[in-house]
Amino acid sequence: MANLKDLFLDELADMYDAENRISKALPKMAKAATTPELKEALLKHQKETLGQIENLKKVFAAFDEKPKGKECKATVGLLEEGDEIVEENKGEPTLNAGIISACQKVEHYEIASYSCLIEWANLLENEEAASALEQILEEEKNASETLTELAADANDEANAEAEEDGDEEPKASKNGPRQNSPQTPSKRVK
């Protein structure tokens, strides 16, 4: 990259591609989910994602650029992994926990990317771009928090089924209820 503006625009193109891919993937994840709450959360975020694409167009315009995408290999990989998780857990009590895990990975990637873009927009003294990106970042953080809240029930459902089957021993957290992580590993007991 020749300068920070070039790096910014390259990453912006990456996220423009990512959001377009995510907007198509979320309805498939919602269709696979088995609880109304998870379906609703995914579809709500899909609508937000369409708005984020419009905000990214405004960011391009704030730099006198036309919107363009550059294949976001990270998002491609994360979405492929999400598809695998859905396929491997269809009909299983682990399905919703797996969907949440896959979606959380995408959200965290987006949060990291938008945090960098905001910092760079500020360094490039483009308040309009920084403001639009901050709005997107806030929506991504809220989506992540919603998924974390839904994870507690999904994880309990997956773990309860395992307990009924006698496959796993319940895993109690030393720190109380799971709030910081959507996935709490459990150990098999033989």
pLDDT, tens only, 146-155 = 999 999 888 8
In the numeric block, the tokens 């919703």 are attached to 96
Radius of gyration of the chain (CA): 19
Q: How far apart are CA 168 and CA 133, in angstroms?
A: 44
| pLDDT given at position 161 | 63
pLDDT, tens only, 33-83 = 999 999 999 999 999 999 999 999 999 999 999 999 999 999 999 999 999
Report the greatest alpha carbon distance in the chain. 62
31 CB-contact burial (10 Å; exposed 0-12 / middle 13-18 / buried 19+): exposed
Q: How far apart are CA 33 and CA 29, in angstroms?
A: 6
pLDDT, tens only, 74-127 = 999 999 999 999 999 998 889 999 999 999 999 999 999 999 999 999 999 999
Contact status, residue 99 vs residue 29, Cβ threshold 8 Å? yes
141 CB-contact burial (10 Å; exposed 0-12 / middle 13-18 / buried 19+): middle
Residue 185 pLDDT exceeds 50: no
Please give the domain boundaries of the chain with CATH numbers for all domains: 4-164 (1.20.1260.10)
